[in-house]
């Protein structure tokens, strides 16, 4: 369990995004039969993370005033949200979360343990410039933050384009907030921006998001509102 005294996603998402998160797997979660069927043959660990993540999705949808309903799988395994809703689900060791919004273009969230990257992974996911800039963040093992940001970018990108986006197709830069947020928590936070190198008709060329490191976890989030009339 995580002893954060604040809600991590609420710190980095705009107020028009509804979010729910849990730091463990409650034993009494009950999903819709259609959802249970999606992981009926999976290992126990996978079933637990799936159930808790879907439960977070139900809680987030309830914040939007929506009646309970199954959240099944759509294209490439992404959650199939109700009409008019965009959202994202994430899970890692000790953390499960979902974020949803009405009438927006896309939402992408990701969570990672704040641990060193496995050998060789950073070289496959970061440009030389990105890797060098990570040292300026004054974070231990900042490669995980970059990886998380790129995962959130992909989750925001794919619903808008229907096309794959490679790790090296998004050039990410970070800023840090000062003082730490919230005050006295020891948390570190900031923003990030991504320039997209893959182009198509109507495809986004840039994303902006926020990040938070606290309690051994990294969370990143992007929320793209609908254009103003």
**Residue 228, pLDDT score:** 79
**Residue 3, pLDDT score:** 38
Please state, in angstroms and rounded to a whole number, the distance separating the CA atoms of residues 35 and 54. Answer: 8
| Interval 95-138: pLDDT, tens | 999 999 999 999 999 999 999 999 999 999 999 999 999 988 88
**Residue 72, pLDDT score:** 97
Long-range CB contacts (< 8 A, 24+ apart) of 71-79?
71/35, 72/34, 72/35, 72/38, 73/38, 75/158, 75/162, 76/158, 78/155, 78/158, 78/159
- Scored b (16 or more CB within 10 A) or e, 47-58 reads bbbbbbbbbbbb
219's enclosing H/E stretch is strand 217-224
**Residue 139, pLDDT score:** 87
Bridge partners (DSSP) listed for residue 89: 98
Token pair for 42: 């999976």
**Residue 7, pLDDT score:** 84
Per-residue model confidence as pLDDT tens for the chain (229 residues): 343 335 899 999 999 999 999 999 999 999 999 999 999 999 999 999 999 999 999 999 999 999 999 999 998 889 999 999 999 999 999 999 999 999 999 999 999 999 999 999 999 999 999 999 998 888 888 999 999 999 999 999 999 999 999 999 999 999 988 655 555 567 899 999 999 999 999 999 999 999 999 999 999 999 999 987 7
**Residue 5, pLDDT score:** 38
8-108 has which fold? Answer: Ribosomal Protein L22; Chain A (3.90.470)
Q: Is 47 helix (H, G, I), strand (E, B) or coil?
A: helix
Domain with CATH 3.90.470.20 in the chain: 8-108
| Interval 152-175: pLDDT, tens | 999 999 999 999 999 999 999 999
pTM check: above 0.85:
yes
Contacts of 12 (CB under 8 A, 6+ apart): 189, 209, 210, 211, 212, 219, 220, 221
CB 207 within 8 A of CB 153: yes
């Amino acid at each position: 369990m995580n002893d954060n005294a604040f809600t991590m996603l609420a710190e980095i998402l705009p107020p028009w995004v509804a979010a729910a998160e849990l730091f463990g797997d409650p034993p009494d979660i009950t999903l819709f039969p259609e959802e249970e069927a999606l992981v009926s043959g999976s290992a126990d660990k996978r079933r637990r993370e799936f159930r808790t993540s879907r439960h977070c999705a139900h809680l987030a949808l309830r914040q939007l005033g929506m009646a309970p309903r199954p959240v099944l799988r759509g294209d490439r395994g992404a959650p199939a949200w109700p009409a008019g809703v965009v959202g994202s689900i994430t899970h890692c060791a000790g953390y499960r979360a979902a974020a949803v919004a009405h009438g927006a273009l896309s939402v992408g969230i990701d969570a990672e343990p704040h641990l060193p990257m496995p050998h060789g992974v950073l070289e496959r996911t970061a440009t030389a410039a990105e890797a060098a800039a990570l040292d300026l963040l004054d974070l231990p093992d900042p490669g995980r933050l970059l990886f998380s940001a790129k995962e959130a970018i992909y989750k925001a990108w794919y619903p808008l384009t229907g096309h794959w986006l490679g790790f090296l197709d998004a050039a990410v830069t970070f800023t840090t907030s000062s003082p730490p947020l919230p005050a006295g928590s020891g948390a570190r936070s900031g923003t990030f921006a991504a320039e997209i190198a893959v182009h198509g008709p109507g495809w986004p060329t840039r994303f902006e998001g926020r990040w938070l490191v606290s309690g051994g976890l990294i969370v990143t989030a992007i929320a793209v509102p609908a254009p103003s009339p």
